[in-house]
Amino acid sequence: MSYRFSCVQLLSLLCALSLIPSSAYALGIDIPKPKKEKKEEKKKETKKEETKSEEKKTGEAKSTAPKEGATKEELWAEVTKDVEPLVDATMAAFNKKDWAAFFAHFPTETRDNKEMVKALGDGYGRFHDGWGNYKTRMIAKDRSNPDYFSFGKLDYDVEFEKQPKARMEINFKKLDGKFILLSLSFKNADGSFASPAAGNTVVGDGVQVGPGAVMEIKMAKSTWDKFKDTVKAGDWVEYEYPMNKMKTRMEITELGDHTYTTKTNSDMGGQKTEQSMKMIFSEPDPKIEETKEEEKTETKEFPDKVKITGKGEVNATRYEYYQKGKLLSKVWISKEVPAGGMVKSETADGQVMMQLINHGTK
């Protein structure tokens, strides 16, 4: 299956898919956080007023959510009540291979981007093809952390139709008073990240997986011409993601005819992972569907300079994305940076989503 991405979007997808192994949620590096419309703000204000009125009548505060520093018992009670239903809905969607519903409780940066949902859904679909439907789960509290004020994590022992012993790890947080899921990763029973790749077959209890498994992403063949000169075996880059307290190191390990392979080591909240991914530029250009007027975006390019700590300034092109005249996000790409040239991405309000901290060539 192939997807229609520009060179800039492809770089973003590559970074996103490399954050956590193939089963993980990608944060949508260059996907903007939609601004709230005035109508939505008005609804929110109306709801606040209704809540205040209700509290005044009852003499009680409606929200009894734990505050920072709450006991684990209080946090577990809230997580059980509010987060577990999200997991139920997500795994029900997994069984139906309904990826729009699967990502319904993830941040808007991913769930509102149809192409990203399709690409990530393909990765989760490989697990479904190999492991079958999800059946049951049991929370392992000794491996979990309900404290979403620091780093919320739920670690489960799970059972699938063809894989009776596996694990599932979910990271979550509370945003604007509402819980969202940040990532969902499938693991082997020993805790190592599972990564079914093309060509894996079902053997015994499940799919042949392991640290050496490589996730394959197939792209339009024509995209290779725009991308081939930006990668070289031995190139490496290191990024940090301030909003998620994550760092990654990606290296181009192999370069072939219309293919290249990367290895990415990530550290998120002390959780270290490794993922290999092979990009294959072999597919025909997909049919371009007519975009609805309200969904059309405009891209503007500007010459710019970006300072990289310890490396000085690099010349870069700043890409700004607009929808209905409103700025959505910014991405900086430089020909002076190896492994694709991605330097930095920001939200419309200037929050840094990811930025280059080091690079080199072996």
pLDDT tens-digit series, residues 40-60: 445 555 555 555 555 444 444
- Edge to edge, the sheet with strand 259-268 lists 214-220, 271-283, 259-268, 246-256, 235-241, 352-361, 342-347, 326-333, 312-323, 298-308
* CATH fold label, 7-34+72-214: Nuclear Transport Factor 2; Chain: A, (3.10.450)
Residue 360 contacts residue 45 (beta carbons within 8 Å):
no
In 3D space, the residue among 249, 353, 357 whose CA is nearest the CA of residue 309 turns out to be 357
For 333, residues 6+ apart whose C-beta sits below 8 A from its C-beta are: 8, 11, 316, 317, 319, 340, 341, 342, 343
Residue 236 contacts residue 337 (beta carbons within 8 Å):
no
pLDDT tens-digit series, residues 300-342: 999 999 998 878 899 999 999 887 788 878 899 998 888 888 8
Band of residue 250 on the pLDDT scale cut at 50, 70, 90: very high
Least confident interval from 102-111, 194-203, 297-306? 194-203
DSSP single-letter state for residue 175: E
Query: 178 or 193: whose pLDDT is higher?
Result: 178
Q: Which helix (H) or strand (E) holds 152?
A: strand 152-160
Taking the C-alpha atoms of residue 80 and residue 182, their distance in angstroms, rounded to an integer, is 17
pLDDT tens-digit series, residues 169-188: 898 888 778 898 988 888 88
For 187, residues 6+ apart whose C-beta sits below 8 A from its C-beta are: 166, 167, 168, 169, 193, 194
Q: What is the mean pLDDT of residues 137-143?
A: 93
pTM beyond cutoff 0.85: no
pLDDT tens-digit series, residues 74-85: 999 999 999 999
Residue 110 contacts residue 117 (beta carbons within 8 Å):
yes
Structure tokens at 353: 């989503």
What local confidence, expressed as pLDDT, does residue 158 receive? 95
Query: 126 or 359: whose pLDDT is higher?
Result: 359
CA distances for 278 relative to 47, 143, 159, 358, angstroms: 48, 31, 29, 23
Taking the C-alpha atoms of residue 282 and residue 222, their distance in angstroms, rounded to an integer, is 8
Residue 359 contacts residue 337 (beta carbons within 8 Å):
yes
In terms of residues, how long is the chain? 362
Residue matched to tokens 């394959």:
216
**Dmax over Cα atoms in the chain, in whole Å?**
71
For 299, residues 6+ apart whose C-beta sits below 8 A from its C-beta are: 6, 8, 319, 320, 321, 322
Structure tokens at 154: 């739920």
